Amino acid sequence: MAEWLSFLTRQGLQGACHPLRYLRVQSLFKPQHQINNFNGVQQLMSSETRYSDYDAMDRIFPPFSEEVYKVYLVNLEKLVLQYIPKRAHIFDLCCGRGELTQLLQEKGYQVIGLDGSEVSLRYARENAPGVEFILDDARSLKFPSTFHAVVSIGSSLDHVISIEELENVFKNVYEALLENGIFALESYSEEDALSHYSVPIRNGHVEDDYVWIGRLTYDREKKVLRENYTEFQLLKGEWQRSDVTLLSRAYSPAEIQSVLKKVGFMEVRTYDEERDLGVSGRAGKTFFVCRKLLK
């Protein structure tokens, strides 16, 4: 906390609220924004519509291996970390279970993580004790200009399936960055969706007292991947059923670049993870890196 306050002082933000306190106050009085959902239907977004679908995915998605996050770290070294100070402030947006957050913290960065899933954040707090984790929605977060870098990996923002909402997220990220700050975003493109889901996929898992079944279909017209999961749990001798659907949009690189530029980001660059960063098996998975330039 003391470090945060001295950081704010160095940034000329004396007297300003601690950014987390600011965010919490914002959340209490969060206005309801009019947004369009994917079908163009007007919705009201409030804390009740926080993206929390991953709460139900706890037993379905196992954590990725440590190796996966080490590769992410190597990529982020090349794309972001070499350009920011050693003890820079980094925002891990849609941090999930906090594995990357932990690696960044271990490297000496001052990290804050945000995610919409309470369950994921429970793991994150165990993985990276001492890091501040915020339960909120990337579409409505408000953060003062604080961070040297904002990173979002694991195709997390592909779950924001309306381009208007994606623009809101990018605006919020832009505000949260210091001048000259870097935003690095990983997104899975249509090339990736078609290579994995050109035909519907069925998967699942069976234990004596627990079963899940998944059906994954890609809608080429809407460019939306729909993952339907059904779980059955044997509780007190009775099978209980629950269902969850995850949606993600396969944005084209041109769409993402254009929204980043629209909100003011400069030097927008695109890196295919296999072709440009040399990670085999990751063709179509793309990093977008851009800057909030000095005025």
95 forms part of the interface with ligand SAM (CB under 6 A): yes
Give the residue carrying structure tokens 């440009």.
276
120 forms part of the interface with ligand SAM (CB under 6 A): yes
Q: Which helix (H) or strand (E) holds 132?
A: strand 132-135
DSSP 28-62: HTPPPEEEE-TTS-EEEE-GGG---GGGGGTTTSP
Closer Cβ to ligand SAM, 8 or 89, answer by number? 89
Residue of 19, 23, 54, 147 that binds ligand SAM (CB under 6 A): 54
* Shortest Å, Cβ 51 to ligand SAM: 4
> What is the spatial distance between Cα 162 and Cα 49, in angstroms, rounded to a whole number?
15
Closer Cβ to ligand SAM, 8 or 155, answer by number? 155
117 forms part of the interface with ligand SAM (CB under 6 A): yes
> What is the spatial distance between Cα 184 and Cα 151, in angstroms, rounded to a whole number?
5
181 forms part of the interface with ligand SAM (CB under 6 A): no
Helices (H) and strands (E) in the chain, counts: 8, 13
> What is the spatial distance between Cα 240 and Cα 219, in angstroms, rounded to a whole number?
30
51 forms part of the interface with ligand SAM (CB under 6 A): yes
153 forms part of the interface with ligand SAM (CB under 6 A): yes
227 forms part of the interface with ligand SAM (CB under 6 A): no
Q: Which helix (H) or strand (E) holds 68?
A: helix 66-79
* Shortest Å, Cβ 138 to ligand SAM: 4
116 forms part of the interface with ligand SAM (CB under 6 A): yes
Count of positions on this chain that bind ligand SAM (CB under 6 A): 19
Distance of CA 242 to the CA centre of its chain: 25
Contacts to ligand SAM from residues 156-175, by CB under 6 A: 156, 159-160
* Shortest Å, Cβ 136 to ligand SAM: 7
Cα-based angle 227, 233, 239 (whole degrees, multiple of 5): 115
Q: Which residues bind ligand SAM (CB under 6 A)?
A: 51, 54, 94-96, 99, 115-117, 120, 137-139, 153-156, 159-160
